[in-house]
Amino acid sequence: MSDIADRVADSSRQENVNRILDAADRLFRHYGYSKTNVADIARDLGMSPANIYRFFGSKSEIHQALMERMLTHRNDLAMEIARLPISAEERLRRYGHEEHQFTINVLTDQKKVHEMVVVALEHQWGVIEKHIDQLHIVLAKIISDGIAAGEFVEQDPEIAARCFGASMVALCHPQVAAQCMNKENRATADELIEFAIRALKK
């Protein structure tokens, strides 16, 4: 009976956590991260701030949990691309364009989300480093497939993945991408992606 009770308690806790995260996400997107506090989230949910603090120690913890949820979704999409039954070269091309499009959407259509991402990057939270590590694993898998298929020259897939990821910074880092948008003296997304893929062939 205690096992059932524990599962019910865990399920109830997760439901409350999800409700808090959903409300925080909605308010952060509408008002902005800096203009929203824990009391606002509690008010939106019809509960006291003390109730929020039963699940999260601070607004920062809520933010980190939201970022982890968003980045987990990005990692899942990257994994889907890695599993596609197409060439490694085309998978890398699609990965680069998908990451760039996501960043552009955040910058142009969801400016409040951009603020959330920038705050996370500035604080160098572990969730960001974990996300980068997971993307490197995905890229290494694609590059390894490309080497095995003779698309890319023999090389260390893990090093190549880190280098490929670094070459995408201007496309995927929100602050860098914002500085490069609509600048004629900067490489386009197509140019950067094709340059990075060609490097894997030499």
Do 123 and 145 sit in the same domain of this protein? yes
Q: What are phi and psi of 126, to 5 degrees?
A: -60, -30
Return the pLDDT at 74. Answer: 85
Rounded Cα gap, residues 74 and 51, in angstroms: 30
pLDDT at residue 123 is higher than 70: no
Do 48 and 144 sit in the same domain of this protein? no
Return the pLDDT at 115. Answer: 67
Do 78 and 19 sit in the same domain of this protein? no
Do 9 and 76 sit in the same domain of this protein? no
Supply the CATH number for residue 49's domain.
Answer: 1.10.10.60
- For residue 114, the enclosing domain spans 59-200
Closest of 175, 88, 113, 165 to residue 134, by C-alpha: 165
Do 110 and 24 sit in the same domain of this protein? no
Do 6 and 89 sit in the same domain of this protein? no
Return the pLDDT at 57. Answer: 93
Return the pLDDT at 172. Answer: 80
Query: What six digits make up the tokens of 20?
Result: 């808090």
Closest of 178, 56, 49 to residue 117, by C-alpha: 178
Do 53 and 65 sit in the same domain of this protein? no
Report the share of the chain in percent with pLDDT over 90.
51
Supply the CATH number for residue 186's domain.
Answer: 1.10.357.10
Higher pLDDT, 29 or 8: 29
Do 48 and 64 sit in the same domain of this protein? no
- Identify the residue whose tokens are 């680069």: 96
Do 109 and 53 sit in the same domain of this protein? no
Return the pLDDT at 134. Answer: 93
Do 31 and 87 sit in the same domain of this protein? no
Kindly report, residue by residue over 127-136, the tens digit of the pLDDT.
888 888 999 9
Which of these three, 57, 84, 99, is where a domain ends?
57
Considering its fold, how many domains does the chain have in total? 2
User: Three-state SS across 122-159?
Assistant: HHCCHHHHHHHHHHHHHHHHHHHHHHHCCCCCCCCHHH
Do 182 and 85 sit in the same domain of this protein? yes
Kindly report, residue by residue over 40-91, the tens digit of the pLDDT.
999 999 999 999 999 999 998 998 898 888 888 889 999 999 999 999 999 9
